[in-house]
Amino acid sequence: MDFLVFQYPMITVQACLDGILLGVLFALIAYGMALQWGVMNIINIAQGDLVILGGYIAYFMYLYGIHPAWGVIVAPVIMYFVGIAIYKLVINKVVDRDLFISILATFGISILFMQLMNFAFGADVVLANSGYGTTMLFDNNVVLPNSKIFSAFISILFAVCLVIYMKRSKLGRAIRATAQNARAAKILGVDTEKVYAATFGINAALCGVAGALISITFTIHPYMGLPYTIRSFMIVIVAGLGNLPGVAMSGMGLGVFEEFADYILGTEFRIGSVFLLLVLILVYRRFKLSRKREYLK
């Protein structure tokens, strides 16, 4: 059992592809998290719940006969404004406080969102069918659902657009300036309040896209948000803050790692092994950091 990967070599190819396709989607969520973490110093526990809310938008479009793939465009628009609203109501009051307060605040938002979604949409597990079919490779030994390929493609598209937007646009420059030094940016005339609101809105919009994709590829449920928060948190930790290409790499890396852990160690160790990796990376980081500090002394 343990060495399925060697018994059936095609599993290796399958695991790599599955991991990458999954990882790209997670990286998109993590990307939003990294952005607002970097700019506002807020760890958003409600990240996963924003994702699920985006999923419900696509699901409702599907219910009303619109192809759920359009959710990829509609969900971020709605979620952008949801994000701005959350910012104006809660986040702007905690943005300059310490990390603990912002974690508590977003944790509260997360619980509120879960209950509201449960209240509004019910506790049933739902999904949107895209009807995209399947791609078969290598004599039918490797199968890739087209919905996953579509998700990965859209994720990459949005990530690339965002990177360009960050580099080229005025707002993008303002966001980067604020991330580097909020006070200095303020002195130089950047309206940081607006930048924060926009950042939170962009993050929510990214969650909306990811949510729509998740409703097409997996299932959604009001209480399924937390695993997405944790996953994106992990990706950001592994990549390190302010390292956006790193987020993409660590997203895919974790995806592939997880798939292999599944085949080699067994499904029950899948999540555990990812957490173990996280601990190892943190310990390694700390080790490296302490050496650096000593050197500086």
Partner 1 sequence: MRLNKIILSFVSALVILFSTSVASFAKVVGDKIILGAAISLTGKYSSNGVHTQNGYNMAVDRINSMGGVKVGGKTYKFDIIYYDDESNPKRAAQLAERLISQDGVEFMLGPYSSGLTKAIAPVTEKYGVPMVEANGASRSLFTKGYKYLFAVLAPANLYLDVAIETAVELNGGKPVRIAQAFEQDAFSQDVRLGILDAAERTGSKIIIDDKLPKELNDMAATLVKVKQMKPDVLVVSGHTKGALTAIRQIAEMKVDVPMLAMTHCDAAKLSKQHGKNSQYALCASQWHKSLTYKDDFFKDGMTYAADFEKEFGYDPPYQSAESSAALLVFKDAFERANSFDQKKVRDALAATNMQTFYGNIKFAPGGQNVDKPMVLFQVMCDDAGKCENKVVAPLKWASAKLIHPVPKWSER
The contact set with partner 1 (CB under 8 A) reads: 1, 4, 7-8, 10-11, 14-15, 18, 22, 115, 118-119, 122-127, 129, 134, 136, 140-141, 143, 145, 147, 214, 218-219, 221-224, 226-227, 259, 262-263, 266-268, 270-271
Nearer to partner 1, 52 or 57 (CB): 52
Distance in Å, CB of 232 to partner 1, minimum: 14
Distance in Å, CB of 234 to partner 1, minimum: 14
Residues 6 or more apart in contact with residue 73 via CB below 8 angstroms: none
Distance in Å, CB of 238 to partner 1, minimum: 20
Nearer to partner 1, 105 or 127 (CB): 127
Residue 244 CA to residue 246 CA, distance in Å, equals 5
Distance in Å, CB of 37 to partner 1, minimum: 23
Nearer to partner 1, 141 or 169 (CB): 141
Nearer to partner 1, 33 or 84 (CB): 33
Residue 26 CA to residue 213 CA, distance in Å, equals 11
Distance in Å, CB of 58 to partner 1, minimum: 14
Nearer to partner 1, 53 or 197 (CB): 53
Distance in Å, CB of 217 to partner 1, minimum: 8
Nearer to partner 1, 186 or 270 (CB): 270
Residue 289 CA to residue 123 CA, distance in Å, equals 45
